[in-house]
Structure 1
Amino acid sequence: GAIDCTHIAIKGPKNCKEMYFNRKKAYSIVVQAVVDCNKKFIDITCGEPGSLHDYRVLRRSKLFEDAESHYEEMFPNSHFIIGDSTYPSNKWIVSPFKDYGNLNDAQRKFNEILSSTRMVVENEFGLLKGRFRRLLMFTEQTDLKMITNIVVSVCVLHNICISFDDLYDMNEQSTDTLFTTEDEGDESGIDEALDRRQNLFNYLIQNHII
């Protein structure tokens, strides 16, 4: 699947208020999701404070714990998750090559393919918020546990709608632009032998795809 995070705007909570104040100077909680090729959510982490960066949300999630502890079981046959530059590339996440102006043509093409494939998760966030517009802003509800339960519930409802081909056509631009652009993940110390991105890159080269 493809992984990304989106923010759900909330009123500033009474407790630990500053933790929920994000980089766009608004209060929010974070939803981390993995979306598959059928446009369904296959993993959800919800409720982390809006001040946390995407990669830190991942590190605190059960997904990360399970992936590190049960890698072979979760990712058989060299399966992996794709993400944006927020995430460092490792044995189970493939992210773009960092572009410091020194990428070759094959690496740039690789990034283009990865980005176009990864768009499924961004599109699903837009569809989710278009279908369930309460997610655009919780103005009355202040119970964070209740808000989290509502968000997770609508993700389940979204999957049910997809299963019944009840698709929502949203032409509006995703509201995620209010909250995107996170610091990039740190790739220092990564063992290239365990770097799934390099394996995938080599495969695409060998098969003349890039």
Structure 2
Amino acid sequence: MADLVLLEDLQQALLRRDRIFRDRTDLLAESDEWLISRFRLPRPILLDLCQQFSQLLERPTKRTSAVPVHTQVLSTIGFLATGTFQREIGDRSGISQPTVSRIMPHVLHAIISLTSQYITFPNTAAERTQIMTDFYNITGFPSVIGAVDCTHVALKAPTVDEFAFQNRKGYHSINVQVICDAHLNLLNVVANSPGGTHDSFIVQNSIMGLRFEQSAAGEGWLFGDRGYALKFWLMTPVANPVSQKELNYNRAHERTRSSVECAIGLLKARWLCLSDRGGILQYKPDKVCYIVKACSVLHNIAIKNGIPLDEMPIQEDRHMAEGFDPMPNAVAMQLRAGIIEWF
């Protein structure tokens, strides 16, 4: 009996034993090459982010060792860059998994607060002209203001409205709409649609779609694939090209529109939590949307600062859902016919 009591006491002691972490190391002391490989950003940009977020992330605490701002930022960005388990991120940063879980929403909120600074659709004539010129230099296509496409970010099956999040490929996801320019900068991101939502429905009911429909976005066309409905502000390929001009139009359209596919591939390669390489995100839909928005801001920061990425952009399996708008738009078809004559 005494032996059983002793074994029980030993078991309880093991359960009560605190987890031991190594000392918090100064990860920012590492080389830029090392930092980029693990956090996708070099020291100067990481330090700048820490400085910008200091007021948002520093909190009064009665603890003897509050989590420093740079540890909060690096832990969260490290997760976004790798998609690995929070426990592994915590071990690397010298903090516990519950602490990683607690600080992540605050850092994501801080990153998203920079959205208006880094993700902006061109509003002035000069900005629109520059973007149109950049697209024109690809294939000679006139008046292109942005390329649009959607991508799916996988997540665990939600407990609420599970069916709505099941996409056409059979898994649960958020369907994320991206509009980019010719340099792969994200001009607009919509990250709040369940995976079962049609791409064309998202763009038509987004703020940008409504702006274009009301002609408030200025002259110019968005470019989308055949999964979108042809609109006077959204040019799509000719479904069954017959003439040489139609074939030329489709080739130029594809090369111009490929910018958004490259942007999405680069976004997911840089921030692996968004790709299947990082596994399925084990969070509720609203938090996954926050993660997507934060990654989009960081993507533009990396693009605008010319940060290199060794990994190859992720090539997605293209499977478009067509036939969303059964009735052709006569005005849009006439506009597209006029563009085809350019070729």
Q: TM-score range by the shorter chain?
A: 0.7 to 0.9
- Counterpart of 1:207 in structure 2 is none
Distance 1:59 1:25 in 2: 24
Q: Which residue identity lines up with residue 75 of structure 1 in the other structure?
A: G
Instruction: Give the TM-score of the pair, scaled to structure 1.
Output: 0.85
Distance 1:116 1:165 in 2: 23
CA offsets, 1:125-171, max 9 Å, x none?
A: 11111100001156453221111011011111111111111132443
Query: Unaligned 5+ residue runs, structure 1?
Result: 205-209
* Contact persistence 2:273–2:281 (CA under 8 A): no
Rate the CA distance shift 1:199–1:189 in 2: closer, same or farther, 3 A: same
* Matched positions, count: 196
Residue 108 in structure 1 maps to residue 238 in structure 2: no
**Between structures 1 and 2, the one with greater helix share:** 2
Rate the CA distance shift 1:42–1:193 in 2: closer, same or farther, 3 A: closer
* Contact persistence 1:9–1:26 (CA under 8 A): yes
Q: Superposition pairs for residues 1-210 of structure 1, below 5 Å?
A: 1-69=146-214, 71=215, 73-76=216-219, 79-99=220-240, 103-137=242-276, 139=280, 141-171=282-312, 173-174=314-315, 176-177=316-317, 180-186=319-325, 188-192=327-331, 195-202=334-341, 204=342, 210=343
CA RMSD of the aligned region, Å? 2.0
* Contact persistence 2:225–2:237 (CA under 8 A): yes
Distance 1:161 1:140 in 2: 23
Which shows bigger deviation, 143-152 or 56-65? Answer: 56-65
Give the structure with higher Rg (CA): 2
Distance 2:332 2:180 in 1: 27
Distance 1:92 1:43 in 2: 16
Q: Which residue identity lines up with residue 104 of structure 1 in the other structure?
A: S
Distance 1:149 1:195 in 2: 40
Q: Which residue identity lines up with residue 5 of structure 1 in the other structure?
A: C
* Contact persistence 2:178–2:188 (CA under 8 A): yes
CA offsets, 1:102-146, max 9 Å, x none?
A: 621210111011001100101111111110000115645322111
**Between structures 1 and 2, the one with greater strand share:** 1
Partner secondary structure for residue 169 of structure 2: coil
Which shows bigger deviation, 139-148 or 81-90? Answer: 139-148
Distance 1:4 1:195 in 2: 23
Give the CA deviation at 1:90.
1.8
Give the CA deviation at 1:3.
0.4
Distance 2:311 2:319 in 1: 19
Rate the CA distance shift 1:182–1:170 in 2: closer, same or farther, 3 A: farther
* Contact persistence 1:35–1:42 (CA under 8 A): yes
Give the CA deviation at 1:81.
0.7
| % same residue | 27
Distance 2:264 2:233 in 1: 22
Query: Unaligned 5+ residue runs, structure 2?
Result: 1-145
If asked which structure has higher relative contact order (CA below 8 Å, sep 6+), I would say 1
Distance 2:335 2:229 in 1: 11
Partner secondary structure for residue 74 of structure 1: coil
CA offsets, 1:43-66, max 9 Å, x none?
A: 111121111221112222122122
- Counterpart of 2:111 in structure 1 is none
Which shows bigger deviation, 193-202 or 111-120? Answer: 193-202
